[in-house]
Structure 1
Amino acid sequence: MASLLFIIFLSAIITTEAQQGESIVNLGSSLTPTSKSSWQSQSGVYAFGFYQQGNGYAVGVFFAGIPEKTVVWTFNRDEPPALASVTLNFTSDGRLIMQSAQGEETAIANPPERAASASMLDSGNFVLYNSDKKTVWQSFDYPTNTLLQGQRLTDGKELFSSASESDQSTGIFRLKMQTDGNLVQYPVQTTDTSQYAYWASGTYGKGSNVSLCLDDDGHLYLLNSTGTNIKNLTKGGYPTKDVVYFVRIDADGIFRLFSHNLDKKGNFSVLWPSSYNKCAPMGLCGLNGFCTLNDQVANCLCLPGFVSVNPGNWSSGCVRNFTAASCKSKDESTKYIMQPVPNTVWEYSYYSYLILLTKDDCAAACLKDCNCEAASFRDKYCYKQRLPLRFGRRDLNDANIAFIKVAISTSTINKIEPLGRERYSQKDIMILGISFGAFGLIMSVISAIAVYKNRVQAYRRLSNGGSVDLSMDVSLRSFTYSDLEKMTNGFKEELGRGSFGTVYKGTMWNGQKIVAVKRLEKVLTEGEKEFQTEMKVIGRTHHKNLVRLLGYCHDGENRLLVYEYMSNGSLADILFKPEEKLCWDERIEIARNIAKGILYLHEECESQIIHCDIKPQNILMDEYRCPKISDFGLAKLLKPDQTNTFTGIRGTKGYVAPEWHRKQPVTVKADVYSFGIVLLELICCRKSVDWSYPEEEAILEEWAYSCFEARELDKLVSDKDVDKKQLERIFKVGLWCILDEPSLRPSMKKVLLMLEGTVDIPIPPSPTSFLSTI
């Protein structure tokens, strides 16, 4: 009797374990969109059933209770949504069908043998079992755009993106696990060739029957038929308790690894993307459109002479905003010109090519050819093309320039002059001319009197050896060289030397106010008007984190600037001296203030200014240790060979953005790079390049990323009381700023928001990464 009880007890334990992690659905069960709409897994994480799509309903697997980004599998994704009157039936003969109110049936799962039960598993897999509890059908075998933990994408299988986050129908991108062992992303309706691949794992020929696998700890990798791991896409090792992971090819064409914390519903985090360049996916902007990056956000633009078909859906592409007539037409009212679109790449498709010396020759050759609608010029090769153009994106690293044939109407131009003649008679024109002339003469006399009085008063203020009353100053003062000699006592006390010249200590108000006088070296030989124009641009900048320019000297060949005096020297004087150690909160506040100053120069002052030499030596500290950026706006005044380290490159070694070396166009993103280096120096209290450290630690940006990747940020800071989350956040800001590709770096506005903790910061790539090699 005891042995029988033991067998019964053991059987109960086995049955309980077999059903752990699943909820059984029996034959005859049904669902409707408006009442019982889904079968949930035992944990309640996943559900199988109806979800709302547009004005109807679709059937799929999704996260239960989470309203956003939840669908992980969809049945018949390209069919129209079902009406609210449909029913989902698990029939008595083991079929899973959707039945309309009229009795029409659509098979969702029709297994090869009779199903006896079904289950929504905690893994996210919906399965049908036979009477022996063997799986006869499962959703994991038919992935749509997502892979879940434990699910595999086997060789020859594909994932297809959705049309949008809210529309689960098939989109325009695909991810294929090829039979050659390579995992590759393509646009839809293209061949599996390198010409159309925009990302690949680089595992071609590494094995047969390769599968893409995702483990419970977020480890995403490729496994061959012998069970050998041939490529890690992520390292894994992420927390497994109350966290789920999934990978998805998103509507924007990027393949991403997501994590979801079950304790924080709706909180999805991106742990890894296939590419950080959101313009990498080919066809994102449709036909005759091209993608540009702005602060890491992909924007679509149409070719010249084209407009968007549907601004709400850029994949629809662009169409001409004029009616194209044959260039052989006798109609003189329409002319054609070639509009350039520089630094863009397109599908490599052409019907003819020429070897020409210049881009202008290429444009002219296309203009003369009636079959040519566009041309691309690269390295003396001119490729003639027909429309539409596909897979366009802007790439500042690419020298290719496209030319688009655009029609212009001559009727508007021809009408301008006749209208003018008809409107005014000669008498009218004469009267108007005399009136304006007299008015102009009167205003000139008034202005001359005002200028004379102003200069007399200014001269009086400037007398007595530069004793200038700056308390009433509303503009820059113009000093003579002798004025500044007296103010600096013959340029006696040197405060420091920089890339722009030497700085001397001076006094005003008979010694009551200290100023800094900078003597510029190797300044461009400009006329007085040009130099004063530049000074006025700088003089109109007013921000608490910029050193204020008080005046200037343009006397013969002498060019000097008068600044407010900063009593605490430079940030370098404080940051790199152990005895002057700043606490963590001070350093972060300094970083925010520097960012505010650069943001003002880039976006908020009257004329945009690129500093070109952001470094601790050019960040001065006032009496309250508030940082102020100096030497801004002076790069324009330098001769081309005036550099600190490299010929032809503005800036200082260690802080110079990579685009300087590549002779690429330099934008405000060069300052973002330099700020990123300064930020890392502020965090770590050390110089960006210091060979007193071991070789692997000498270059700060490389050492910092290595520690970040290994989750060993504590090695980089000596502060013991730093909040770990804040430390990681600040490091991520710095690593985003120092990316090699300028378009991937955030704007200073975004940098400031990230520093202040008001926006989420994705995991940054390696500073030297851009696009994976195909």
Structure 2
Amino acid sequence: MEAKSNKSFSFLILISISILSHLSSATDTLYLGQSLSGNQTLVSQAGTFELGFFSPGNSINYYIGIWYKNIPTRDIIWVANRETPISNPSTSELKISELDGHLVLLNQSKLPVWSSNSTLSNTTGTRVAVLLDTGNLVLRNVSNSSTSTWQSFDHPTDTWMPGGWLGVNKVTGEFNSMTSWKTPEDPAPGPYTERMDPDGSNQYVFLYNNLEVYWSSGVWNGQYFGAVPGTREKTALMLSFVDGEVWKYATYTVTVPSVIARFVIDSSGQGKTWLWLNSSQQWQQIYTMPVAHCDVPSFCGAFAVCDERSSSSCSCYTGFQPASPHEWDSGEWVSGCVRRTRLQCSSNNTNGGDHEKDGFLEMQNVKLPSNPESINVSSAEECKSACVNNCSCTAYTYDTTCSIWQGDLRSLQQLYGGDTIVGGTLYLRLAASDLPSSSSSHKWVLAVVLSIVALLGLIFFVILGTIWLLRRMRKRGGSIMSGEGSLLHFTYTDLQHITKNFSEKLGGGGFGSVFKGTMPDSTTIAVKKLEGLRQGEKQFRAEVSTMGSIQHINLLRLRGFCCEGINRLLVYDYMSGGSLDNYLSPNSKVLDWSTRYRIILGIARGIAYLHEKCRECIIHCDIKPGNILLDAESCAKVADFGMAKLLGREFSRVLTTMRGTVGYLAPEWISGLPITPKVDVYSFGMMLFEIVSGQRNSSNSKSETFFPIWAAQRVTEGEIICLLDDRLKGDADMEELMRVCRTACWCIQEQELDRPSMGQVVLVLEGVLEVNTPPIPKTFQRLMQDDQQVPHFYNPLPITEHKEQSGNSEASVVSSQNDP
């Protein structure tokens, strides 16, 4: 009997040792009777994901979460106890409950703070928790491992993983949604949620506080969601939608095994798609929804204003300061701002006396906060009194009707002349000491003014001398004044003097001629004289202001402008390298392959910025070598962007008169279809063949047929090297050459849906996405069958004939620019 007892005791010891060794060897499975504590973790079978305790940032709290094991940054994809953190992971444990088979987290007092609450059958058996290589934590019955009784993919936090899903139970109305972290250091549920539209339509929406919709995906049309970037094109991420009897949901998969992807709705309220770049060991953000920060409600928190044109995006109102300076310094503004001085308003005073203590700051041209309270009054003064006599009132506005706001103000946005959002004037309640024009400050100003009066006599002659000097300077060339935003406002006389009366012409085109000039500080500039422009001064200034606010290393910088009567001129940085046109002839300077590839990538990044990073999508409409300029270091700069909107209907006339430009026009221009950013993709593809070959597509030096047709045939047949400029003698990176040639062929596909976006082109050129062998464009196939050498949309046409074929192409350009 004693021997039998010893054997049982030895067996228990062996079991215990086995369990401990199982955990210490980083298994992917948690068995009944085991637990995770301290630094113990589960690791998926292929070593992709890890589960264990973590503490975000500088937080003192701990959570159970899942993250990528082999990525240097600990990026959390799922959190169990996001609402109930623990303080000591060493004495806490994650285990499978012996009572009900749920996965539970016990704190240091051995009290449950989180449970999976899985739906288990009454059948007996051992349950196990397994961390899969998809990042999904599943709870299974050992006797039936093919069925999961609970899985983390059914309960996403802020991250949607490949293979995961978001949807709604059509029977119970239960939503499977994801919610942002409260802050980057607090996984608690924040105010931003992504879910299927509560109205029952087959689209996804972003909600603020589960009430306010601020972004929608567009309804699923059987192939894609209209407003979700990349769903129309063939990419490494494939999105699908399932509408079953019980559940309807969306899911996505990664078609390229080497790509690591995730979608996150972060604490700022934006949905972001990330790809991991092994080359740079960092995440690359490829899609953002919505694009503009200020479209997210309360992006800047309470009592802060959002400004898309400001480098810091958010700033506190006058009389307020950041609630958390540390977060604001790190670029996290969700904590908002707090008053510097408490309001003096007293609810016991109803005779208006508080108006002497508190006042109102006038804030002009702002997008007003949501959810105001309407007050039935007949004048602005009565509206102000209604707010004065209500101590909870923090702001009011009056525009035929009276609206007041109580409590925190959120989602205030600064607007500008070119914005499509209608702005208003808000009167913000402040303590008297915080008002820029308070009664005490008036007395101070008066004292200062009286003191200054005594000095006016002494400086009177200085002023006269200054006026005389300024008049002499104006006669010698005028003065340069600051203009719209960071732009300089030049007079026409200024530019005549700077360009020596427009004597040195750099080039010309349909938009006008370009002249070289020298600023007073010896900086060289290029001045473009716009021709045939019929736009009004106010609209011209608004469009130029928008163009000037666009800054990117691969976009030509607009320095200033002139708007005097019929004279409309734009002032740009001077590019000493000239245009790409200069390098596309047999006798031109030979660019080595690395320089060409750097130019190609720069052009792609510049166009992608215009399409996807600006507040409103900007379609260039005239991508060609002549509009690509090079600086002294051969860095590519895309020029003439914004011209389609600046010139309006005149832009279509310009294109028809510029015969060389027609060689880059997409088929949509001729067929009269609406113009989209894919016209730039087509032009970019046609230009790539020229950069690779070092010659114009019309030169026919390598073939008797139209060069792009011949080139497309070579690409599909894998004969890439024969497209390379003969002067390089094969000295090129073959992998890069293959990417460029395949990308060019994809870009010039006849149907715009078959062309990639410029953002995807950049990722291909950077080596992030793989590119398959493209088909020969259908237009080229028809031309090959008909034995024609030049496509009809390439051959230069007279103005009248082109307009007749293009139908409503003029209206399409204007429409697409106003409403991209």
| TM-score, normalization by structure 2 | 0.53
1:32 and 2:37 are equivalent in the alignment: yes
TM alignment of 1:270-669, pairs within 5 A? 270-294=285-309, 299-311=313-325, 312=327, 314-322=333-341, 323-325=343-345, 328-330=351-353, 334=357, 336-352=359-375, 366-370=383-387, 371=390, 373-376=394-397, 383-394=403-414, 396-407=419-430, 408=435, 409-417=438-446, 436=458, 571=579, 585=595, 655-656=642-643, 658=645
* CA apart distance, 1:174: 0.6
Structure 1 pair 237–339 and aligned structure 2 pair: CA distance change class (3 A): same
Deviations 1:272-331 (A, max 9, x none): 333222322222222333322238x77223344443333425323334444253684436
Distance 1:44 1:342, change over 3 A: same
* Alignment partner, residue 139 of structure 2: 128
* 8 Å Cα contact 1:289/1:301 also seen in 2: yes
Q: Distance in 1 between matches of 2:682 and 2:495?
A: 51
Equivalent-residue separation in structure 2 for 1:190 and 1:221 (angstroms): 25
What is the distance in 1 between the residues matched to 2:506 and 2:96?
92
Query: Does the C-alpha gap of structure 1 residues 353 and 273 become closer, same or farther in structure 2, counting only changes over 3 Å?
Result: farther
Aligned CA distance change for structure 1 residues 171 and 265 (closer, same or farther; 3 Å): farther
How far 1:381 moved relative to its partner?
A: 5.6
Q: How far does residue 30 in structure 1 lie from its aligned partner after superposition?
A: 2.7
Distance 1:394 1:187, change over 3 A: farther
Displacement of 1:582: 8.5
84-93 or 573-582: bigger deviation: 573-582
Structure 2 SS opposite 1:154:
strand
Q: CA deviation at 1:339?
A: 0.8
Q: Which amino acid aligns with 1:39?
A: L
Residues of 2 paired with 1:623 and 1:178: CA distance? 49
Find 1:145's aligned residue among 144, 158, 162.
158
Aligned residue for 1:60, secondary structure, equals strand
Distance 1:237 1:694, change over 3 A: farther
Aligned to 1:98: 105
One-letter amino acid of the structure 2 residue matched with residue 239 of structure 1: V
Q: Which residue of 2 aligns with 1:239?
A: 256
Alignment: residue pair count: 578
User: For residues 769 and 256 of structure 1, do their structure 2 counterparts lie closer, same or farther at Cα, with a shift above 3 Å needed?
Assistant: farther
Q: What is the aligned partner in structure 1 of residue 46 from structure 2?
A: 43
User: Letter of the aligned partner of 1:248 in structure 2?
Assistant: V
- 1:40, CA displacement in angstroms? 0.6
On the 8 A contact 2:368/2:413 being kept in 1, the answer is: yes
Q: Please provide the CA RMSD for this pair.
A: 6.8
CA distance in 2 between counterparts of 1:442 and 1:127 reads 83
Q: State the 1:109 CA deviation.
A: 3.8
Partners in 1 of 2:96 and 2:600 — Cα distance? 68
SS in 2 for 1:412: helix
Residue 144 of structure 2 aligns to a residue whose secondary structure is coil
Partner Cα separation in structure 2 for residue 244 and residue 392 of structure 1: 37
Amino acid at match of 2:680: A
In the aligned structure 2, how far is the partner of 1:229 from the partner of 1:222? 8
Structure 2 counterpart SS, 1:219: strand
Counterpart AA for 2:144: K
- 3-state DSSP of counterpart to 2:443: helix
Letter in 2 for 1:404: Y
Q: Which runs of 5+ in 1 are unaligned?
A: 1-20, 207-211, 459-474, 505-515, 524-544, 550-556, 597-611, 630-650, 663-672, 735-744, 747-753
Q: 2:186 aligns with which of 151, 164, 167?
A: 167
> Closer, same or farther in 2 for the Cα pair 1:368/1:265, shift >3 Å?
same
- Residue 323 of structure 2 aligns with an amino acid whose one-letter code is V
Q: CA deviation at 1:55?
A: 2.7
1:204 CA drift (Å) = 8.8
Q: Given residue 31 of structure 1, which amino acid in structure 2 is its aligned partner?
A: L
Cα pair 2:664 2:686 within 8 Å, conserved = no
- Alpha-carbon contact 2:155-2:176 (below 8 Å) kept: no
Distance 2:557 2:209 in 1: 54
Contact 2:302 2:335 in 1 (8 A): yes
Q: Is the 8 Å Cα contact of residues 676 and 816 (structure 2) preserved in structure 1? A: no
Q: Conserved in 1, the CA contact under 8 Å of 2:303 and 2:410?
A: yes
Any idea what SS the aligned residue of 2:84 has?
coil
> How far apart are the structure 1 equivalents of 2:292 and 2:582?
38
Q: Give the conservation status (yes or no) of the 8 Å contact 2:97–2:103.
A: no
Partner of 1:64: 69
Paired with 2:426 and 2:184, the residues of 1 have a C-alpha distance of: 35
Q: 1:239 deviation in Å?
A: 1.0
- Over 3 Å counting, the alpha-carbon distance change for 1:768 and 1:382 in structure 2 is farther
Instruction: Report the CA distance shift for 1:685/1:386 in structure 2 as closer, same or farther (over 3 A).
Output: same
Deviation digits for residues 333-356 of structure 1, max 9, x if unmatched?
5473451231414314332367x9
Indicate whether 1:258 and 2:274 are aligned: yes
Secondary structure, counterpart of 2:314 in structure 1 = strand
Asked if the contact 2:193/2:265 (under 8 Å) is kept, the reply is yes
Paired residues of 1:116 and 1:128 also in contact (CA < 8 A):
yes
SS of aligned partner of 1:25:
strand
Find the partner of 1:704 among 660, 666, 680: 680
Asked if structure 1 preserves the Cα contact closer than 8 Å seen for 2:27 and 2:44, the reply is yes
Distance change in 2, residues 1:142/1:705 (3 Å): same
User: 1:581–1:103: structure 2 CA closer, same or farther, 3 Å change rule?
Assistant: same
Question: Residue 76 of structure 1 is aligned with which of 81, 89, 92?
Answer: 81
In structure 2, do the counterparts of structure 1 residues 230 and 695 end up closer, same or farther at CA, with 3 Å as the change threshold? farther
Alignment-derived partner of residue 713 in structure 2: none
Do the aligned residues in 2 keep the contact of 1:243 with 1:260 (CA within 8 Å)?
yes
Structure 1-normalised TM-score? Answer: 0.56
Instruction: Report the Cα offset of residue 173 of structure 1.
Output: 0.4
| Structure 1: distance between partners of 2:160 and 2:568 | 65
In structure 2, the gaps of 5 or more residues are 1-25, 169-174, 223-227, 477-492, 517-526, 535-555, 607-619, 694-722, 725-731, 748-757, 770-812
Secondary structure, counterpart of 2:308 in structure 1: strand
CA distance in 2 between partners of 1:190 and 1:302 (Å): 26
In the aligned structure 1, how far is the partner of 2:96 from the partner of 2:312? 48
Q: Is the 8 A contact 1:304 1:339 kept in 2?
A: no
**Structure 1 segment 186-265 matched on structure 2, within 5 A:** 186-191=206-211, 196-203=212-219, 218-225=237-244, 238-240=255-257, 242-260=258-276
- 1:330 and 1:586 map into 2 onto residues whose CA distance is 73
Aligned match of 1:647? none
Q: State the AA in 2 paired with 1:152.
A: W
Greater Rg by CA:
1
- For 1:623 and 1:390, the matched residues in 2 are separated by 44
* C-alpha deviation, 1:197, in angstroms: 0.6
Amino acid at match of 1:98: L
